[in-house]
Structure 1
Amino acid sequence: MSDLRTETQSPAVLRPAAVLFDMDGTLIDSEKVWEIAIVELGRSYGGEISEAARAAMVGTAMEESMRIMHRDLGQPWRDPAAGALALEDRVVELFRSGLVWRPGAMVLLAAVRAAGIPTALVTSTRRRLVEVALDTLGRDSFDVVVCGDEVSANKPDPAPYRTAADALGVDITACVAIEDSPAGIASARAAGATVLAVPCELDLSHLHGETGIHLRGSLADVDVPHLATLLVPRKDL
């Protein structure tokens, strides 16, 4: 295998136009917080949500998550908007009690900022919850914040990542998006970004070898020069 870097394409020169970060499960270990709230809500409805339904909810918009949950519980007649509000109220309480960074996430985010690379937070979570999470993440950590209730369509649609790139004024194809869920990865790839996929709750091994998707076990293994290498074309000779 040979590397097709030229002098002008070296990682020292070729930097991402921007780094676009997902939030839940990527920067903060909040999927466990969502798990608590979802289980509690399901039990308040008189049921137990299945593992398959819970997995399908990861990375999706709130009301779609509620539709998945209601179908799983055999209660499709429930209002997804009302369910989303009840879930959000509980998660706000849990977020305020404190959030934990994912391994390596805080260091990488700080390094990207120190390198002067534009950043965006691109999340399916609604603005009300994101504002609480920013108390942990830092309000000056991102040039742009795109929330799930502020886009025309949510992940896996490409709209969130296109919105972020447009707001930053950068070419999405020169950006690296960092994601942990299939829905988020699909969104970023459909928008045209290169994806660094770091699993949290879900196995992503089936994505190995997919064009434009690079799997890593942890952000602790990633630094700014490594992000640059993801944009360098490679081929087998």
Structure 2
Amino acid sequence: MDGTLVDTEPYWMAEETALVEAAGGTWTREDAVQLVGNDLMVSARVILETTPVTGTPEQVVDALVAGVAARMRSALPWRPGAAELLADLRRHDIPCALVTMSWSALADVLLEHLPGGTFAAVVTGDQVERGKPHPDPYLEAAHRLSVPPHACVAVEDSPTGAASATAAGVPTLVVPHIVDVPQMPGAVRLGSLVDVSARDLLPLVSVGP
């Protein structure tokens, strides 16, 4: 979701910065970039270990999620081509799963902006024991879709997300955004989702862009 479908990474960075600065610390863009794509509990522990922020990891996540959700409801910034690709997949009755390390409260905000049935399954960070880069989220999504992982296509923007999808055996299309994604077996890269249609996805991951 974040960075692939909607450009919410700046929202996360702004909320992280506000949280840390309110506790008397500093938070740089370099600090924020290190958290892109992480399981939120992992990110919360990093913040607690490296800044003056106090509390539990759950409290840190709750604060960040509340802030990002408010920003998303105010303005939902779609990544180029993402909404159009989702609409094309829906027109062709291709079942889709949303696999995000954001928690359900944030996924729900995105779903509010989409026609019912856009996603046949939604797997969020608070629903899996091990988040990205572990394969668990994508394995769970394939299970909920009743499709073997190798028959799916993942679209990811971060190293942790791409690592999760490929570890699950899902052919992966990487569209880097905030951070670079290294080459990895099972993944191909594309600069943008603009003009990418449902019929383009399988050839892209089969032969590369």
Give the TM-score taking structure 2 as reference length: 0.92
* Bigger RCO (CA 8 Å, 6+ sep): 1
Residue 141 in 1 paired to residue 118 in 2? yes
Residue 222 in 1 paired to residue 196 in 2? yes
Which residue is 2:127 aligned to?
A: 150
Aligned to 2:98, the other structure's residue is in SS state: strand
1:105 alignment partner AA: A
CA offset digits 1:169-206 (Å, max 9, x no partner): 001011110001111111101100011111111122x3
2:159–2:180 contact (8 Å) kept in structure 1: no
Which residue is 2:12 aligned to?
A: 34
The one of 78, 84, 88 equivalent to 1:101 is: 78
Which residue is 1:65 aligned to?
A: 43
Structure 1 residue runs of 5 or longer lacking an equivalent are 1-22
Aligned to 1:24, the other structure's residue is in SS state: coil
Structure 2 matches for 1:123-142, cutoff 5 A? 123-142=100-119
Structure 2 matches for 1:117-128, cutoff 5 A? 117-128=94-105
2:100–2:124 contact (8 Å) kept in structure 1: yes
Q: Are residues 77 and 87 of structure 1, via their aligned partners in 2, closer, same or farther at CA, if it must alter by over 3 Å? A: closer
Across the aligned residues of Structure 1 and Structure 2, the Cα RMSD in angstroms comes to 1.8
User: 121-130 or 60-69, which moves further after superposition?
Assistant: 60-69
Aligned to 1:232, the other structure's residue is in SS state: helix
- Based on CA coordinates, which of the two structures has the bigger radius of gyration? 1
Hey, what's the Cα distance between the residues in 1 that align with 2:115 and 2:178? 24
Hey, what's the Cα distance between the residues in 1 that align with 2:178 and 2:207? 30
Q: Are residues 87 and 232 of structure 1, via their aligned partners in 2, closer, same or farther at CA, if it must alter by over 3 Å? A: closer
Identity of aligned residues (%): 40
2:20–2:53 contact (8 Å) kept in structure 1: no
Shift of 1:52: 3.2
Report how many residues are paired.
208
Which residue is 1:198 aligned to?
A: 175
1:121–1:142 contact (8 Å) kept in structure 2: yes
Query: 4+ runs of 1 displaced by more than 3 Å?
Result: 75-78, 230-234
CA offset digits 1:44-98 (Å, max 9, x no partner): 111111333311211112121111222332x486422211111122122212212
